[in-house]
Amino acid sequence: MNTTLGGTLAALSNDISATVDAVAAAVVAVEGRDRVGSSGFFIRPNTILTADHAIEADEVEVVYADGRSETARLAGRDPATDIALLAVATAGPPPIAPAADVRVGAIAIAVARDDDGDLAATMGVVGSVGAAWRTWRGGEIDRFVRADLSLYPRFSGSPLVDAAGRLIGMNTWGLSRRQAIVVPATTIERVAAALGTRGRIARGYLGLAMQGIELPESLGGGSGVIALGVAPGGPAERGGLIVGDIITTLAGRRIHSSDDIGALLDAASVGSQTIVGVLRGGKPHELDVTIGERPDDHDD
């Protein structure tokens, strides 16, 4: 028997268990919906971060490591990045320090709790790290991170940490129908700071239901976005858009898809007057639209 190898594996096992134990103090069970609950973790002394899609109830119960439970107050939420903040009276441990660097192939550990507060963990590696991206609801994620590990139902909202116990991000099933995604620590810091001030993230809003279409050569070819619905009293209606208008430009930029529009409707756009170029009956028109602030239950 290779005792050196056995000793090395035993040391690695002990180190991983120690990392889980160190992180576990900051991790709680979250009961925010009738079906399967989620997990969360302290990011400030009296503030817990969790996955927004797992919060469906007005009252949210959190269960701590020692089995104690407490009713938390929803302090802020951003469905577009799937981040929610819960305010609690119980002061938690120091927040998990963010990792300075996230590399493909690095060990990644997810730490969660079940409905009784019992600890759960799963381990794998960072499978992919990519460029910044935008969620289907318009949230800005600083970079794409995917962990290759098994995430079980209650692991949404749980922290993903590296081998040293430093925060890589929050695990969630709420941003993709195909796979679990990690909301990176840099995005968490930015969104949590804004939620702590306003309780929500401001984003631009036109009040349109849209669909991308291919334009015939008679209309110049290429692609655009057709207005399938216009919200009564919304910014688009007030600016003169009607159902059937084909949006080709916004703020002077060519529009090829609804994602192009979403990318321009950031917090800075709220309240600004913008020229929307449309094709109506095959003829170009320019409409002056004042961008509004998107309600929580609407998209563009």
For residue range 102-135, what is the model confidence (pLDDT) as tens digits?
999 999 999 999 888 899 999 999 999 999 998 8
pLDDT reported for residue 298 = 56
Examine the domain organization and report whether 168 and 226 are in the same domain: no
Examine the domain organization and report whether 36 and 95 are in the same domain: yes
Question: Which distant-in-sequence residues (6+ apart) come within 8 Å of 281 by Cβ?
Answer: none
pLDDT reported for residue 177 = 78
Provide the terminal-to-terminal Cα distance of the chain, rounded to the nearest Å: 64
**Residue 273 included in any domain:** yes
Segment holding 134, helix H or strand E: strand 133-134
Examine the domain organization and report whether 31 and 161 are in the same domain: yes
Examine the domain organization and report whether 194 and 208 are in the same domain: no
Indicate left, alpha or beta for 138 from its phi (over 0: left) and psi (-120 to 50: alpha).
left
Examine the domain organization and report whether 194 and 253 are in the same domain: no
**Residue 298 included in any domain:** no
**Residue 299 included in any domain:** no
**CA 42 from chain center: how many Å?**
17
Examine the domain organization and report whether 55 and 185 are in the same domain: yes
pLDDT reported for residue 300 = 62
Instruction: Answer for the pair 80, 55: CB distance below 8 angstroms, yes or no.
Output: no
Instruction: Answer for the pair 158, 168: CB distance below 8 angstroms, yes or no.
Output: no
Which sign does the torsion angle of CA 255, 256, 258, 260 carry?
A: negative
Where does a domain end: 198, 215, 233?
198
The CATH number of residue 118's host domain is 2.40.10.120
pLDDT reported for residue 246 = 94
pLDDT reported for residue 223 = 86
Q: How many structural domains does the chain have?
A: 2
Examine the domain organization and report whether 183 and 213 are in the same domain: no
pLDDT reported for residue 17 = 94
Which sign does the torsion angle of CA 91, 98, 40, 43 carry?
A: positive
Determine what percent of the chain falls in helix, strand and coil, rounding each to the nearest 5.
20, 40, 40
pLDDT reported for residue 153 = 85
Examine the domain organization and report whether 119 and 226 are in the same domain: no
pLDDT reported for residue 3 = 60
pLDDT reported for residue 299 = 57
Domain that residue 245 falls in: 204-293
Examine the domain organization and report whether 52 and 173 are in the same domain: yes
Examine the domain organization and report whether 254 and 187 are in the same domain: no
Examine the domain organization and report whether 110 and 211 are in the same domain: no
Indicate left, alpha or beta for 62 from its phi (over 0: left) and psi (-120 to 50: alpha).
beta
Examine the domain organization and report whether 189 and 214 are in the same domain: no
Per-residue pLDDT for the chain (300 aa), expressed as one digit of tens each? 556 666 888 888 999 999 999 999 999 999 998 888 999 999 999 999 999 999 998 789 999 988 899 999 999 999 989 999 999 999 999 999 999 889 999 999 999 998 888 999 999 999 999 999 988 777 889 999 999 999 988 999 999 999 999 999 999 999 987 888 999 999 999 999 989 887 877 788 999 999 999 988 877 778 889 999 999 999 999 999 999 999 999 999 999 988 888 888 887 888 999 999 999 988 999 999 999 988 765 556
**Residue 126 included in any domain:** yes
